[in-house]
């Protein structure tokens, strides 16, 4: 994927997304001994960066594919993103979600016009349910993170950040399925001035960290983390980009995630979900590296179940 594809993607999706604000805090700068610029995708339509990739993926379909609709399987934010993007473009969206997904996210999918199918909480069950929908309706499957058009869409958040602050030294993102960090790394490579991309990942789901070490896609034995949006694994489309353009993955503890989430709520006065706080937690773990530097942080989303706050 090249620079022009990112530019074209951004132009294509602009009518369907928000150009989200960038915030900073003198206190957080002091805590991390760096200048932090928070790209607030919690203010994106449907509350997360995933609206970008979903909109781009649908816009790139043929008329026949749009007629038959789209389908994805997702435990949360991409389910909402595809539902809203499809509704905005007059396309039907079938969404497969595990029964264990937060009720607030299921309700949002229905509210955005998504046709919800619930399944057991395993990848096999998700894939089976998705296949049945494809066979019945002829829908096009759009993967939440392992899709070239989705990756390009997610990279536009970093593009907007670099338009405002072109001299960033680093950009940090959380790492789940790999779509956001892959898109961000491409944007930093093409539009930054020697801007490096670093990912944050919970110790409890550190498949991306281990994948960079081993050179092949690793899986997680458990997914016991408060960062519910980061339980998915890398794919064959985003992993090569991550290998080539991501500087490193920094692992953080559950306590560090909760502490960083609280700092964002208290100091930036915004709502972010635990997955978003992983990026700031990773910054605090790299204070020596970041000392005196300009650091972008992608706040990935703000879809929180307020009845289950971790503090």
> If you search the block for the tokens 């990026």, which residue do you land on?
279
Question: Which candidate in 74, 75, 83, 88 is catalytic?
Answer: 75
Residue 16: which of 72, 87, 75, 76 has the closest Cα?
Answer: 87
**Residues paired with residue 107 on neighbouring β-strands, in sequence order:** none
Question: Which candidate in 35, 39, 50, 106 is catalytic?
Answer: 50
**Residues paired with residue 199 on neighbouring β-strands, in sequence order:** 173, 249
Strands (DSSP E) found in the chain = 22-23, 35-40, 70-73, 93-98, 115-119, 140-141, 170-174, 196-202, 246-252, 294-299
DSSP string, 238-272: HHHHHHHHEEEEEEE-HHHHHHHHHHIIIII----
Residue 50 is among the residues annotated as catalytic for this protein: yes
CA distance 14 to 85: 12
Helix axes 3-13, 179-191, angle to 10 degrees: 110
Active site residues: 50, 75
């Amino acid at each position: 994927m090249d620079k022009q594809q990112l530019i074209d993607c951004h132009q294509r999706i602009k009518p369907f997304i928000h150009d989200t604000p960038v915030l900073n805090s003198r206190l957080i700068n002091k805590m991390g001994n760096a200048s932090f610029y928070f790209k607030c995708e919690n203010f994106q339509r449907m509350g997360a960066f995933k609206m970008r990739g979903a909109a781009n993926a649908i816009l790139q379909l043929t008329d026949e594919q749009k007629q038959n609709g789209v389908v994805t399987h997702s435990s949360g934010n991409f389910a909402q993103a595809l539902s809203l993007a499809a509704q905005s473009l007059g396309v039907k969206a079938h969404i497969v979600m595990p029964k264990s997904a937060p009720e607030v996210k299921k309700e949002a999918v229905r509210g955005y016009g998504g046709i919800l199918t619930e399944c057991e909480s395993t990848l096999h069950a998700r894939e089976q349910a998705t296949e049945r929908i494809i066979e019945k309706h002829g829908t096009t499957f759009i993967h939440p993170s392992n899709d070239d058009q989705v990756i390009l869409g997610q990279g536009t958040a970093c593009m907007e950040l670099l338009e405002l602050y072109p001299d960033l030294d680093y950009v940090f993102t959380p790492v789940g399925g790999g779509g956001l960090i892959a898109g961000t790394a491409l944007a930093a490579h093409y539009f930054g001035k020697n801007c490096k991309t670093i990912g944050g990942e919970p110790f409890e789901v550190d498949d991306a960290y281990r994948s960079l070490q081993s050179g092949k896609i690793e899986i997680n034995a458990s997914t016991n983390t408060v960062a519910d949006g980061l339980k998915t694994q890398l794919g064959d489309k985003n992993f090569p980009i991550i290998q080539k353009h991501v500087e490193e993955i920094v692992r953080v503890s559950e306590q560090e995630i909760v502490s960083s989430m609280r700092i964002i709520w208290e100091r930036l006065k915004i709502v972010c979900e635990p997955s978003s706080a992983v990026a700031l937690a990773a910054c605090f773990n790299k204070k020596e590296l970041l000392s005196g530097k300009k650091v972008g942080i992608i706040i990935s989303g703000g879809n929180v179940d307020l009845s289950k706050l971790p503090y």
